[in-house]
Chain A
């Protein structure tokens, strides 16, 4: 029994395509994450869900009362809450993914020594990276689903297309999670980790989240359009009203490239970090 099981694992490892980096067992990392979450900090996870909801209520309903209707993505007027809701969803996908792939990973890597234990088994660094990113995405999807439900309850959803915001949020989370993990692998101290917050906060505030991009002079617009969050905000805003333009595949492409680059970097870095 035990023997065949172990040889099975070894055979599996022999067929792998990523050398000593990958043994096709990311699911073990995933089930570990699920068990850890169920056993402890699932309450903490809820805070990540409520944050954008609170923003939506305070800004959308509160500010919305004095702002009134604004011009929607397709030119027709929409309520201010309906305008910012998709943007907040993009922000929450970013926040969830970045938190899971940066602070969480940083802690497990440097303090809990969790990955060191894992790497003394048949697991390779890529199993760990894929598993952790999958967990971040799962969390992002749960947030997105919950937030979309809140939007529906507030009467902000007017088309079935809006359901596509959920998979789109997962794509956004994927981009941020893979890049976030790559960046975290360079971090040595808590002070360096603070830089992540330092970049994310302005990105949240200025990526056309609360008002259209056109308020900025052209050079600033270019800068913001180069940043990832703007593409997420625009993508979800378009989906929320079911209006697709030539820019839609561009936004999606931005995240596909970001994901690929992030995964590549993460793998290279993990090799350097763990297979010294």
Chain B
């Protein structure tokens, strides 16, 4: 769309930012006191790409997003958004960003359509542009018949869609989404995914954080898994599964008493064995043949399930199963 018009001039100022790259982070660090929320991460995002930051709570995802938006200053490292440093050029950088924060911060004192118009004014955009744009975005967010409603009368899913519509008012080249579907029911999530996918088709660069693996698999071309402020892995969802897990997973339940003693008897089946309180996971490229081996050893699980490996397996492997507080 309009991207090419600005890109060359801004990219020239990048100081090494490759053409077509819209975000470059090198050794990005943010410390609060002694605690490193983000501990030297490096990544880059290409124009039109859909890039995910995955990680448990407190991994540093939101802090990274805030540094990209220039609302949190980095402690160390290099960061360029379309060739500009967000710390010194916050307003210019944000003129090209759309932001969907973790918690909706819609203006409850304004009506639905006014939320879009007023937000557009914050970017200094004229009403002659904003009025048709607001109607177009209401259509996109399936909120046209709610244009005059009060914000607090909207459902959670509607509020989320309005927040996304609002983030698009300045036709951003990069859309930052911080856990976009947390707290939504499945219907609302799927509608939202559909809308995000359409944006991606239009060439908008998406950067999203999530701890929903299905969301990451649906939306992300490429992602990084972060834990405790560091990058644990990077790649496409398929590649991450290939590198960090097996093709299939065999899930067995023997009942909680038997569960703890069964590990030794299953030794040698599959590539890797994981004992959880309620079940045993056997990572194998061929789950069915692993199940046959289990049966041939005379073991009779209460239930068994063969499934494809998912990003969730990768995630849990990389970030551990213990609860993060």
Contact = CB atoms under 8 A, between A and B. Distances in A.
Interface stretch (B45-53, B99-107, B199-207, B252-260): B99-107
Interface stretch (B117-125, B213-221, B288-296): B117-125
Contacts, number: 121
Most chain A CB within 10 A, of B114, B118, B121, B122, is at B122
Interface residues of A, number: 41
Interface string A1-40: 1110111111011101001100101001101100110011
A19 B88 contact: yes
Interface string B55-97: 0000000000000011111000000000000011111101111
Nearest to B122: A121
A71 B109 CA distance: 48
B2 A117 contact: no
Nearest to A40: B109
Contacts of A123: 91, 122
Contacts of B73: 275-276
Contacts of B107: 32, 36, 112, 114, 117
B71 A36 contact: no
B105 A124 contact: no
Contact of A6 (B114, B118, B123): B123
Q: Looking at chain B's contact residues, is the secondary structure mostly helix, strand, loop, or mixed? A: loop
A104 B73 CA distance: 27
Contact-residue bracket for chain B:
35 or more
B210 interface: no
A14 B90 CA distance: 10
Interface in B236-265: none
Contacts of B118: 28, 31-32, 35
Interface of B: 2, 5-6, 69-73, 87-92, 94-97, 99, 101, 103, 105-111, 114, 118-119, 121-126, 129, 133, 170-171
Interface of A: 1-3, 5-10, 12-14, 16, 19-20, 23, 25, 28-29, 31-32, 35-36, 39-41, 112-114, 116-124, 274-276
Given A31-B121, A123-B122, 6 more contacts: A5-B129, A9-B124, A39-B111, A122-B91, A122-B94, A123-B91
Report, nearest first, the 6 A-B pairs whose CB atoms are least far apart: A9-B124, A121-B122, A36-B109, A20-B90, A13-B91, A113-B105
